[in-house]
Amino acid sequence: MESKLVSTFADLVALLESENVPCQGDAATQVVTFPVKNGPLDSEMIIRWEKQLLLAQFAVAFPYKIPPQHMALTEHALALINHRLIMPAFGVDHDNRLLYYRVVVPRTDDGALSYDHLFRLVSTTIDTMIDFYELLGQVVLQGAAVEPLLDELTPKLKAAVTPSEPSPTDGQLPS
């Protein structure tokens, strides 16, 4: 079966609405948002449909501001996590003291993304934030050192990779 194509921002909003996703679209900024409530994560997904650049951005923010005294520790944690991830995309908005996971992908020359690709990008963005939510909460909110937390989390994430998938290289976490 051929996958549906999402070619325009209006198509994206219509698709989300047809899937009963309670979204808010802004045609002027080409941004659509919807709530993400999964396990401990209570945030929102932001999808920016870059009109001129033929890019799509998928982002979920950590729902807490980074205390100023934990900013350097958070930056260090994200550098270590991004280095080990197969799909590194954690970042910090310093102006707003927010941590986020953001994936930016090119769309086809005609501006489209397949429904399946779009679904995988949304899922990967949310799932990666959920996978690291507890660890990041300890670093951001409590000032915990990231190294022991990563040592504890790595085997759990590696065990979650199905045997049919190639094993990540040493030092990389599945996302």
Provide the mean pLDDT of the chain.
90
Question: Where exactly are the structural domains of the chain?
Answer: 5-160
- In this prediction, residue 3 carries a pLDDT of 74
Question: Measured between alpha carbons, how far is 131 from 117 in angstroms, rounded to an integer?
Answer: 20
More confident residue, 156 or 97: 97
At position 148, the amino acid (one-letter code) is: P
Q: Which CATH class is domain 5-160?
A: alpha beta
Q: Which residues contact 134 (CB under 8 A, 6 or more apart)?
A: 40
More confident residue, 40 or 69: 69
More confident residue, 142 or 161: 142
* Contact of 104 with 30, CB cutoff 8 Å: no
**In which band, very low, low, confident or very high, does the pLDDT at 51 lie, cut at 50, 70 and 90?**
confident
At position 2, the amino acid (one-letter code) is: E
Whose tokens are 């209006």? That residue is 10
Question: Measured between alpha carbons, how far is 31 from 25 in angstroms, rounded to an integer?
Answer: 6
Question: Measured between alpha carbons, how far is 172 from 113 in angstroms, rounded to an integer?
Answer: 28
Percent of the chain with pLDDT over 90: 79
Containing 152, the helix (H) or strand (E) segment is helix 146-160
* Beta strands in 62-152, from DSSP E residues, in sequence order: 90-93, 98-106, 113-114
Q: What is the pLDDT of residues 97-151, one digit of tens each?
A: 999 999 999 999 999 999 999 999 999 999 999 999 999 999 999 999 999 999 9
Instruction: Indicate if the pLDDT at residue 153 is higher than 90.
Output: no
**In which band, very low, low, confident or very high, does the pLDDT at 175 lie, cut at 50, 70 and 90?**
very low
Instruction: Indicate if the pLDDT at residue 1 is higher than 50.
Output: no
